[in-house]
Structure 1
């Protein structure tokens, strides 16, 4: 899958509408989302950090609340998501305590003070992001010095077979473009999020039917909200041809491959001291 370079591929209102519509069924189709949440927890456990204020950026139905509340006693936890409906459902199901908050907002314009968060946690938000430079600068702005940013996303080697099947049918994009690991590392460094550590995992999933596949990939952020998507409904015959291309095994099942990128970085304060020194050659005296 081809990644992209900071172009505005996505239409934000469509993303919000899609997650609002999927909110009630999200927890029934979040296998991959929860898998990545659990993997992030395992990566977070060995990291020693005192945390009073935590932001779950792109929190969806707030599945991380229990872990954060139990692991960081007395912390203030903010769940931020673009979809008001997912936050509403999460609050109803989990009964937020006095130090757990829901915040409906845009990830590019987080309504929090600078240097206010100890941890920013983000699971599967990046597949919906147009501009990671802008996002990472905003994360750096709200993190305290020595604060932690930890995240997961899909890599460009995800859905290769699905992408290839669609490419044989038309020229439109059917799966969101995804960032390469080196693009993410570069953007982190540019924003001031340093000492980045990224690792890549691969997951193969077998589906019995296409409906379950599309519910899952919608939940994780791979369905198409791009500007150059198919301008009309996809015909049944075309859709069936794509599915038949995916059923390439004797058991008549659909196999999907995922590349999952996990990473973390620190908001290390840059030194204000200018480390570069300049000499006027004319002032250098010859040794006698």
Structure 2
């Protein structure tokens, strides 16, 4: 990934702080992917006592984890404090008056922090769950190294992120308008699998889905991205407002992709899970000692 496409973390934080109140109204993709991740947990035998939701947003995934693992302590971690506050408010509302009175409104711990510098002790969690957060990090090795540091032996990491074909329609429509970057660049599934192995994870399994959302116009795509805080945070972004003529060019280019009366917005969703601390079996190694990474076909549920 070139430096022009590196994300500005301060800008990412500010965008999600602003989006906390509008996030749930537009986070259709995030909820769908969280549901698909939760389904994958059905096929994995693991009983964690402490779970980290890394990039927890407004708490949708954390609620699923509390329901699936009622005896586990769930830690919600997000870069934006406003997202954590929104999750806490929902938990208090769900608990009702008597639940708050009895102290049952907060069954999660909450930590405001950075995925690349997790404020947690070494070997302190049994499982890490991260739904659509890693795409905001420029070098996945740094995140996976932190995940490995805080996981206990036999700990599981399960994540989703976005692949290179995400928002391809929008990226193509912006091409040639100017020299700036307008859409974030995302890391390939195979590179993520390699990063897992480099940072010491075993038995990595990767797969991918494509999810297409549809809109009436290009402005609707941009409004949804703004509502969930997914602004263009690349280093090569333009520093001023786009002119009216340039925006008309973008809209005209996007219109060429209209099908059945709607404009598509494609998301390539990459899923991965791996274990830390499990000894590598000889069958999982290539003759030169390299580890095998299992890649699943699109739509195929991992074991």
- Give the TM-score of the pair, scaled to structure 1: 0.87
Q: Tell whether the 8 Å contact from 2:207 to 2:272 is kept in structure 1 after alignment.
A: yes
Segments of structure 1 that go 5 or more residues without pairing to the other structure are 272-288
Q: Deviations over 1:128-175 (max 9, x none)?
A: 101211110000000111111001111001122211111121221111
The superposition leaves residues 9-45 of structure 1 with CA deviations (integer Å, 9 ceiling, x where unpaired) of 1211111100001110000010011111011111112
RMSD, aligned α-carbons: 2.0
Q: Secondary structure at the match of 2:119?
A: coil
**1:94 matched residue in structure 2:** 91
CA drift of 1:5 comes to 6.6
**Which residue does 2:184 correspond to in 1?**
176
Q: Does 1:85 align with 2:77?
A: no
Indicate which of 126, 132, 157 corresponds to 1:124: 132
SS in 2 for 1:238: helix
CA contact (8 A) 2:15 2:231 kept: no
Change (3 A) 1:219 1:125: farther
SS of 1:80's equivalent? strand
- Could you say which residue in structure 2 is the equivalent of 1:110? 118
Distance across 2 between alignment mates of 1:250 and 1:163: 18
> 2:220 aligned with 1:216, yes or no?
no
> Structure 2 length as normaliser, TM-score?
0.83
* Superposition map of 1:50-89 within 5 A: 50-89=47-86
CA distance in 2, matches of 1:15, 1:205: 23
Q: 1:6 to 1:231 in 2, by over 3 A?
A: closer
Does the aligned pair in 2 maintain the 1:7–1:131 contact within 8 Å?
Answer: no
Q: Is the 8 A contact 1:53 1:118 kept in 2?
A: yes
* 1:27 matches 2:27: no
Partner of 1:64: helix, strand, or coil? Answer: helix
Q: After TM superposition, give the deviation of residue 99 of structure 1 in Å.
A: 3.9
Residue 185 and residue 72 in structure 1: after superposition, are their counterparts in 2 closer, same or farther (change >3 A)?
Answer: same
SS in 1 for 2:240: coil
Unaligned regions of 5+ residues in structure 2, if any?
A: 93-103, 281-303
Give the one of 194, 200, 225 matched to 2:208.
200
Q: 1:167 aligns with which of 175, 187, 191?
A: 175
- Cα deviation for residue 46 of structure 1 reads 1.4
DSSP-derived class of the 1:27 partner:
helix
Q: How many residues align?
A: 268
Question: 1:263-274 alignment to 2 at 5 Å?
Answer: 263-269=272-278
- Contact kept, 8 Å, 1:124 with 1:220, in 2: the verdict is no
Question: Is the Cα–Cα contact under 8 Å of residues 204 and 258 in structure 1 kept in the other structure?
Answer: yes
Q: 2:266 aligns with which of 232, 245, 257?
A: 257
Return the offset for 1:176.
0.7
- Choose the corresponding residue for 1:38, options 32, 35, 49: 35
Give, in whole Å, the separation in 1 of the partners of 2:9 and 2:183: 16
Q: Work out which of the two has the higher radius of gyration on C-alpha atoms and give 1 or 2.
A: 1
Q: Quick one: distance in 1 between partners of 2:3 and 2:33?
A: 24
